[in-house]
Amino acid sequence: MMTLLFLNLGGGEIFFILLVVLLLFGSKRIPEIARGMGRGIRQFKDAANDIQQDIEESVKDVKKDLKDPEK
């Protein structure tokens, strides 16, 4: 329920939030913050993809071992 209330922002609220962010960090610092967040998100996605591939490879190995139990 709280997420629905949070996502229901109007234009005035978004403008106010952007104004506060601009006042707190300044116009030169905001692009640096955005780049850092982008890099962090990219690293997280890459790590998640690596983990997913490792799990899929493990599942394939287990299935292969189950089909050929003589090994």
Task: List the domain boundaries for the chain.
Answer: 2-67
pLDDT value of position 56: 95
Q: What mean pLDDT, rounded, does the chain reach?
A: 86
pLDDT value of position 51: 96
pLDDT value of position 44: 96
Q: pTM of the full predicted structure?
A: 0.60
Q: Report in angstroms the alpha-carbon separations of 12 from 6, 19, 20, 36.
A: 14, 10, 12, 27
Distance, in Å, from the CA atom of 22 to the CA atom of 28, rounded to the nearest integer, reads 9
pLDDT value of position 42: 96
Q: What is the pLDDT of residues 36-67, one digit of tens each?
A: 999 999 999 999 999 999 999 999 999 988 88
Distance, in Å, from the CA atom of 60 to the CA atom of 66, rounded to the nearest integer, reads 10
pLDDT value of position 68: 77
